[in-house]
Amino acid sequence: MLLREGVLIAADHLLGRISPTVGLWPALEGEPRTAYQVSFPLFGDDLKPSARRFAVAETLSHLERLVLEGGARRHETAGGVTYTAAQ
């Protein structure tokens, strides 16, 4: 990032291998799934544990955004949190 004369320039969009945008994925159809489960079709199976943590964190942010916009539903149970597509 660069801050000069009151102008902030952020360059995350220039980093390779990072997905800064929400794409269109049919990741919520069928049974309720956790963010961990949803991260696999979005980011693939071949991630190191540290990269999977980032993938799950990004997936969670997208899922929560979908919940706020009415595109997904969040379900909390004693077993954890899952998401489904809004009906």
**Domain CATH number, residue 83:** 1.10.10.10
Taking the model in full, what pTM does it have? 0.70
Query: pLDDT (tens digit, 9 = 90+) per residue, 27-49?
Result: 788 899 999 999 998 889 999 99
Question: What is the four-CA torsion angle of 66, 71, 76, 81, rounded to 10 degrees?
Answer: -50
What is the domain range of residue 85?
28-87
74 falls within a domain: yes
45 falls within a domain: yes
Instruction: Count structural domains, the chain.
Output: 1
23 falls within a domain: no
pLDDT (tens, 9 = 90+) of the chain, 87 residues, equals: 777 888 877 765 555 665 555 555 667 888 999 999 999 988 899 999 999 999 999 899 989 999 999 999 999 999 899 999 997
75 phi/psi in degrees, rounded to 5: -120, 120
9 falls within a domain: no
22 falls within a domain: no
14 falls within a domain: no
